[in-house]
C-alpha cells in the first residue's frame, strides 16, 4: 500500500500549509535566518483556519492527483475533505466533527491488493469487495485505537510543534505561479513561503522512497463549513454482520 499510504502522509503535511494572498505588503521573511523564517511560518499558520489544496504525486509510471480542503485551529487539524485519483481509481476521505469517513471504488481495490502480496491479497479481497463503492463510517478520529485515520490529527499537530528541522536551509527568493516566495529546504522537502502578506506556505514539494509530490493551496480562511457525507455505514457493521448504523445526514 506504499503509494496510497504516501497519499495519507501527504494529508498530514497539508495540515500545516496555506496560501498567502497576492498584492500584499512585503513581510521581510527573506531577511530572516532559516530558523527565524520557519518560526514566522509557524506563527502565520497558527493564526489561520483552513484552505483548499490540490496536488499530485508519482512513483515510476503510477501517478496520483488529489484535492480537497482542510480546517485548522492553532496548528491542529480539525477537519479534512480529500479526493485522490489514480487513473480510474478514486478514493475520498472526510474528517468532520472528529468522525472519519472513507469511500473508494472497485478500481482502488484492483490497484492496492496486488501491492500487498498474494497471501494478504487473498485474505482481504472479500472484505475489500464488501467495502468498495460504499461510504464507510470509520468512527472517532480522536480515539487512541480503532480508527485507521486517527493519526492524521496527531501528525498535523506535531509537524510544527517544535523548532525548525535540523539542517533547514534558506534559498534565494523565487516565484511560484507568479508569486514571490522564499524556499526553505530540509531533507528532501522544500516549502515555498510567501514574501508578501502573512508568511504562509504557497507550495510544498517533496520526495519519499522514489515518490515525488507537489501541493499548492488556495482560498485560505474561506473554505466554508465542512459537512459529513450522508448514508455512511459503520465499518464494524459491514464486516461483522451486525445491523448497520447509518451516519447522520449532512
Rounded Cα distance, 186 and 188, in Å: 6
Residues facing residue 186 across a β-bridge: 189
Return the beta strands (E) in 145-188 as ranges.
169-170, 174-176, 179-186
Q: What is the pLDDT confidence band of residue 94, given thresholds at 50, 70 and 90?
A: very high
* pLDDT at 45 (0 to 100): 83
Kindly state the average pLDDT of the residues 175-201.
93
Give the tens place of pLDDT for each residue, 130-147: 788 889 998 876 654 444
Q: In this structure, are residues 58 and 64 in contact, taking their beta carbons and an 8 Å threshold? A: yes
Rounded Cα distance, 176 and 193, in Å: 10
User: 3-state class of 36 per DSSP?
Assistant: helix
Give the tens place of pLDDT for each residue, 143-185: 544 444 444 443 444 445 567 778 899 999 999 999 999 999 9
Amino acid at each position: 500500500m506504499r503509494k496510497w499510504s504516501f497519499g495519507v502522509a501527504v494529508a498530514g503535511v497539508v495540515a500545516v500549509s496555506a496560501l498567502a494572498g497576492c498584492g500584499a505588503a512585503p513581510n521581510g521573511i527573506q531577511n530572516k535566518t532559516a530558523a527565524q523564517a520557519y518560526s514566522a511560518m509557524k506563527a502565520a499558520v497558527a493564526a489561520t483556519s483552513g484552505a483548499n489544496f490540490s496536488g499530485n504525486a508519482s512513483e515510476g509510471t503510477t501517478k496520483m492527483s488529489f484535492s480537497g480542503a482542510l480546517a485548522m485551529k492553532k496548528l491542529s487539524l480539525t477537519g479534512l475533505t480529500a479526493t485522490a485519483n489514480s487513473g480510474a481509481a478514486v478514493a475520498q476521505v472526510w474528517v468532520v466533527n472528529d468522525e472519519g469517513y472513507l469511500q473508494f471504488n472497485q478500481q482502488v481495490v484492483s490497484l492496492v491488493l496486488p501491492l500487498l502480496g498474494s497471501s494478504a491479497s487473498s485474505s482481504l479481497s472479500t472484505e475489500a469487495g464488501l467495502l468498495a463503492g460504499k461510504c464507510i463510517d470509520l468512527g472517532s478520529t480522536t480515539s487512541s485505537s480503532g480508527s485507521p485515520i486517527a493519526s492524521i490529527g496527531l501528525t498535523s499537530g506535531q509537524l510544527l510543534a517544535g523548532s525548525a528541522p535540523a539542517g533547514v536551509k534558506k534559498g534565494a527568493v523565487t516565484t511560484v505561479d507568479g508569486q514571490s516566495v522564499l524556499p526553505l529546504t530540509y531533507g528532501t522537502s522544500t516549502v515555498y513561503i510567501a514574501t508578501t502578506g502573512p508568511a504562509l506556505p504557497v507550495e510544498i514539494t517533496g520526495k519519499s522512497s522514489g515518490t515525488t509530490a507537489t501541493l499548492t493551496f488556495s482560498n485560505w480562511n474561506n473554505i466554508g463549513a465542512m459537512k459529513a457525507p450522508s448514508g455512511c455505514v459503520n465499518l464494524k457493521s459491514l464486516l461483522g454482520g451486525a445491523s448497520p448504523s447509518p451516519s447522520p445526514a449532512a
